Amino acid sequence: MEQLQSILADRGPVLASVVVLLVGVLFATQLFNNPSELPLIGAEYGHAEKRRKAFITNGLDFYKKGYELFKSKAYRLTTLDGERIVIPRNLLEEVRRLPEDVINIQKAFDVMNEHKYLQMGDPESSHFLIHIIRGDLTHSLVRINPRLTAETARTIAEVLPPCDDWTTVTLYPALLRIVAVVSGGIFIGPDLCRSEEYLKASMNYTLAFVNAVSNLKQWNPWLRWFGRYFTPEVDNLFTERKNAHAFFKPIIKKRRAAMKAGEEMPDDTLQWMINKADENKITDDMLAEIQLNLSMAAIHTTTLTVTMILYDLVVRPDIIDELRKEITSVLETTDGVMTTHALFEMKLLDSVMKESQRVNPASLIRFQRWVAKPVTLSDGTHLPAGVMIEYPHALAVQDPFSYENPEKFDAHRFMNLRNGTSKDLLGYKNKEQHQFVTVTKDFMHFGYGRHACPGRFFAANEIKLILARILLAYDMKMPDGLTERYANLKMGTDQMPDATKDILFRKTACAA
């Protein structure tokens, strides 16, 4: 007791100041969190902090109510990050055309991913990475495809057990390693992509980042500067980042020395970055961080996507049979080689991939932008500066307005839309807009507008290669007694596959 009294005597004024400050923040949150006169969903819960807490468990219901009530009108709701304005479909094209100094995506990313408190989001590094992906990675897809194909086949055979008979495999961690190695073969080269140090750095950092963001967002937005110090997942992220930098920086230094010595350099993403680093004023520390962020973005999203698709397929053996026939038929025209053109011709596979995204959207919302300057839209909707706007993508792709029988998983849906054998409710003149990689205001999985995901073409090829190889080489089934697809896990506006679930694998006769 005496020790406690001593602490209070020494630090009492400081603690009292913190308490006063926290109370003031909560009071300010309740008073000043009203950026617009637009309709407010969830008003019945009371002030802003009560609405924010209600959103944690009822977020989907908030969006559904808003979507049903205001199909052609903007509305507000209170999310984990405070007030947001939800834009209707009829205003998307107008908002998309607004200049960057009016609606800004970089600031939106800063808010969504807590860059300020996680010490991330350097604009120069982000622009450089996008430049490398667009200018080097995407333009190199045909050239690197043979390496990607070989790495995929080799890695799947290494990671999955022999499977001479039905063998239980926990799918997500197996796919996480497969995607990390296959991606790493292009990102950092075949000699390093199997390094346990690299795999640990890339996979652990990804998981640490997701955990840090999700736990920090449990705090009121006005208190995250303080809550950051009481969120151990944030400290873990910093530790994983430090470890990853310790792995990448010596490799970068070694590459630079080899360049000076006139040695032949690798053809991979890291080298493309090093080649352009000096002219873009990118330091080695920045290079290490950029390489880490590339791995994180590619590995996390691709693994989740492939897991979702295989969960959809394992309960539909008839579709697996159709896919095998398509893949085999296409490969007969290319002497068994999975060329980029062969991947393009796998249109049922492409359709299954997109339908899985439609039925299992990773996020309820897309087109998140920060309003940097106030603007009034053509219908009179006023967007005040300092708020986030967004679009309820998940509800839109499951709306009967857009797709027939949207509640049903239809593996042929987008293939039929592409070949014109089913009615296109959206009325696209160019049927190729129903491809997996295409971005439109009606399908925003990869974003929309000038900031659509630049790596989606690489991701699509990698996903197709992994799926085609698994489907040809393995039979799959659910564990005994299970017939329904595994349910997704929902967290706020996000949903993801259950990473703990098993699937049974057995080598096919042609692969044995």
- Could you report the per-residue pLDDT of 115-158, keeping only the tens digit for each? 999 988 888 999 999 999 999 999 999 999 999 999 999 999 99
Residue 237's Cβ-side half-sphere holds a number of Cα atoms within 13 Å equal to: 28
- 3-state SS class at 340: helix
> What is the residue-averaged pLDDT of the chain?
90
Quick one: which H or E segment has residue 167?
Answer: strand 167-170
- pLDDT tens, position by position, 383-438: 999 999 999 999 999 999 999 999 999 999 999 999 999 999 999 999 999 999 99
512 or 469, which is more confident?
469
pLDDT at 510 (0 to 100): 65
Is the pLDDT score of 21 beyond 80? Answer: no
Task: Give the pLDDT confidence score for residue 207 in this predicted structure.
Answer: 86
What amino acid is encoded at 338 in this protein?
Answer: M
**DSSP secondary structure of 259-323:** HHTTPPPP-SHHHHHHHHHGGGT--HHHHHHHHHHHHHHHHHHHHHHHHHHHHHHHT-HHHHHHH
Cα separation of 301 and 298, whole Å? 6
Task: Say which residue the tokens 């007969």 belong to.
Answer: 332
Distances (CA, A) of 140 to 60, 134, 190, 271: 40, 10, 16, 13
Distance of CA 346 to the CA centre of its chain: 24
Q: How far is CA 414 from CA 316, 327, 459, in A?
A: 17, 17, 19
Q: Where are the alpha helices (DSSP H) in 86-231?
A: 89-96, 105-112, 115-118, 123-132, 141-159, 171-187, 196-216, 224-227
Entry pTM = 0.91
Residue 13 has pLDDT above 50, yes or no: no
What are the beta bridge partners of residue 79?
Answer: 82
In percent, how much of the chain has pLDDT > 90?
A: 79
Strands (DSSP E) found in 295-396: 366-371, 375-376, 382-383, 388-391
Other beta carbons within 10 angstroms of residue 234's beta carbon come to 23
Backbone angles phi, psi at 268, to 5 degrees: -145, 175
Rounded Cα distance, 308 and 399, in Å: 21
Residue 28: predicted pLDDT: 41
How far is CA 443 from each of CA 69, 71, 89, 396, 448, rounded to the nearest angstrom?
Answer: 21, 16, 11, 8, 8
d(CA 364, CA 407): 16
Among 82, 93, 81, smallest CA distance to 367 is for 93
Spell out the residues 6+ positions from residue 154 whose beta carbon is closer than 8 angstroms to its own: none
Q: Which helix (H) or strand (E) holds 78?
A: strand 75-79
**Cα separations in angstroms, 502 against 307, 441, 497:** 11, 36, 12
Q: Given pLDDT bands bounded at 50, 70 and 90, which one contains residue 1?
A: very low
